[in-house]
């Protein structure tokens, strides 16, 4: 990836994060989207504008897919996939677990991704084939091969319709195994924390491409594995996401499918 693309990605993510920092725990307008607690704030839109402005000023012809603005399609083989705030509910409640997430695709393949939580000053970055980094330090997934001692994270959709499976039953199966399962409220941060070895695995139903685009590459470049619930090769438009350190992937797949040994 050339330096101009990388610099633009980093400038864009900082432009978005500056907006989050400015409004955090202040006053801003909040509205509901698909359900009462599926929120969008004026900060999502302002951060999105700031991000898109940076990208468009350098690459006006590139394709953009952004959560609130939708698609700005073009014939370009570059596509920026943007979540201006991942963890909007946390942001709206003054909980500092939220981030800006931007992935960059070229010819349908993710080539770079950045996730920045400015409240923890954690910038996760990956470039295809060049590794994943947290604040410039190389990232590696955990080496834990045992489900018995795994620490997991998940998330739940805002609405239960069209999920196609029952997330509560899957959650219950993991909890009944006595495993610690956390729920941070930001899928992008969940993925990055698996990449950083803090969690051994993450699963969620019904995520959108902007939730996953950057984290997907960060997981892969940190040596992890990401798939759908059949274990198939992943694409960010999938509605089932399982990301792990690789070692516990098959065991987690069995628990999710309900075919695993209930005692592990
Ligand atoms: C949400 C977060 C959350 C996940 C939801 C997402 P948003 O994104 O990633 O962790 O459980 O499914 O929609 O709405 O805060 O951008
Ligand atoms: Ca999101
Ligand atoms: Ca969002």
Domain of 129, CATH number, reads 3.30.540.10
How far does the centroid of ligand 3 lie from the alpha carbon of residue 144, in Å? 31
**Residue 187 alpha carbon to ligand 1 centre in Å:** 6
How far, in Å, from the CA of 195 to the mean position of ligand 3? 21
The dihedrals phi and psi of 106, each to the nearest 5 degrees, come to -130, 125
Say whether 71 sits in a helix, a strand or coil: strand
DSSP class of residue 99?
E
Answer yes or no: is 233 within a domain: yes
Q: Which residues contact 227 (CB under 8 A, 6 or more apart)?
A: 233, 234, 242, 249, 253
> Does residue 37 sit in the same domain as residue 161?
no
Contact 207, 245 (CB under 8 A): no
Residue where a domain terminates, one of 107, 138, 169: 138
Residue 8 inside a domain? The answer is yes
Instruction: Report the atom number in ligand 1 closest to the C-alpha of 89.
Output: 15
Q: Which atom of ligand 1 lies closest to the CA of 87? A: 15
Q: How many whole angstroms from 263 Cα to the centroid of ligand 2?
A: 34
Which amino acid residue places its CA nearest to atom 13 of ligand 1? 207
Which atom from ligand 1 is nearest to the alpha carbon of 39?
Answer: 14
Structural contact between residues 128 and 45, judged by C-beta atoms closer than 8 angstroms: no
Residue % of the chain over a pLDDT of 90: 83
| Residues 8 and 133 both lie in one domain | yes
Range of the domain at 58: 3-138
Place of tokens 């995520």: 207
Per-chain residues with Cβ under 5 A from ion ligand 2: 83, 86, 211
Query: Is residue 35 included in any domain, yes or no?
Result: yes
Question: Tokens at residue 97, please?
Answer: 């677990």
Please provide the distance, in angstroms rounded to a whole number, between the alpha carbons at the two ends of the chain.
43
> Within this chain, do residues 110 and 154 fall inside the same structural domain, yes or no?
no
Distance CA 187, CA 215 (A): 8
Final residue belonging to a domain, choices 105, 138, 171: 138
Are 171 and 96 part of one and the same domain?
no
Total structural domains in the chain? 2
Strands of the 152-154 sheet, one edge to the other: 181-182, 152-154, 201-205, 240-244, 225-227
Distance 208 CA to ligand 3 centre (A): 10
- For residues 111 and 105, is the Cβ–Cβ distance under 8 A? yes
Rounded CA-CA distance 217/165 in Å is: 26
User: pLDDT, tens digit, for every residue of 61-92?
Assistant: 999 999 999 999 999 999 999 999 999 999 99
| Rounded alpha-carbon distances, angstroms, from residue 176 to 114, 187, 202 | 35, 23, 17
Domain membership of residue 262 (yes or no) is no
Question: Residue 88 CA: which ligand 1 atom is closest?
Answer: 15
CA distance 20 to 51: 12
DSSP 109: E
Structure confidence at residue 260 as a pLDDT band (50, 70, 90): low
Q: What is the DSSP letter of 52?
A: H
- Per the DSSP assignment, residues forming a β-bridge with 138 are 133
DSSP letters for 133-153 = EETTEE--------GGG--EE
Same domain? 111 vs 213: no
Q: What residues line ligand 1, using a CB cutoff of 6 Å?
A: 83, 85-88, 155-157, 185-187, 204, 207, 211
Own/partner long-range contacts of 56-62 (Cβ < 8 Å, ≥24 apart): 58/4, 58/8, 59/8
Considering the domain architecture, whether residues 19 and 103 belong to the same structural domain is answered as yes
Q: Which of 48, 82, 188, 211 to mutate to test the pocket of ligand 1 (most atoms within 8 A of CB)?
A: 211
Domain boundary among 138, 166, 194: 138
pTM over 0.75: yes
Same-domain pairing of 131 and 223 = no
pLDDT tens column, 126-165: 999 999 999 999 999 999 999 999 999 999 987 765 666 6
Task: List the CATH number of the domain containing 212.
Answer: 3.40.190.80
Q: Are residues 110 and 192 in the same domain?
A: no
Identify whether residues 115 and 173 lie together within a single domain: no
Query: Is there a single domain that holds both residue 106 and residue 164?
Result: no
Lowest average pLDDT, out of 116-120, 154-158, 184-188, 258-262, goes to: 258-262
Which of 48, 87, 206 gets mutated to test ligand 1 (max ligand atoms within 8 A of its CB)? 87
The encoded tokens of residue 226 equal 């990401």
């Amino acid at each position: 990836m050339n330096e101009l693309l990388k610099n633009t990605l980093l400038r864009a993510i900082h432009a978005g994060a500056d907006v989050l920092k400015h409004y955090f725990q202040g006053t801003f307008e909040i509205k509901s989207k698909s359900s009462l607690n599926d929120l969008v704030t004026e900060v999502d839109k302002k951060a999105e504008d700031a991000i898109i402005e940076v990208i468009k000023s350098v690459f006006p012809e590139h394709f953009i897919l952004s959560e609130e603005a939708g698609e700005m399609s073009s014939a370009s083989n570059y596509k920026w996939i943007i979540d201006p705030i991942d963890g909007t509910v946390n942001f709206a409640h003054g909980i500092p677990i939220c981030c800006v997430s931007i992935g960059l695709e070229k010819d349908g393949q993710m080539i770079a991704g950045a996730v920045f939580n400015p409240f923890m000053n954690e910038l996760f970055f990956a470039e295809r084939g060049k590794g994943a980094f947290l604040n410039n330090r190389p990232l590696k997934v955990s080496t834990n091969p045992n489900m018995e001692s795994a620490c997991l994270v998940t998330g739940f959709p805002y609405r239960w319709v069209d999920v196609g499976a029952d997330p509560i039953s899957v959650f219950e199966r993991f909890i009944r195994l006595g495993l610690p399962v956390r729920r941070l409220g930001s899928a992008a941060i969940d993925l990055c924390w698996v990449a950083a070895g803090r969690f051994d695995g993450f699963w969620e139903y019904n995520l959108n491409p902007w939730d996953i685009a950057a984290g997907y590459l960060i997981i892969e470049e940190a040596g992890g594995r990401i798939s759908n619930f059949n274990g198939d090769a992943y694409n960010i438009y999938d509605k089932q996401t399982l990301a792990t350190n690789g070692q516990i992937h098959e065991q987690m797949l069995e628990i999710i499918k309900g075919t695993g040994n209930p005692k592990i």
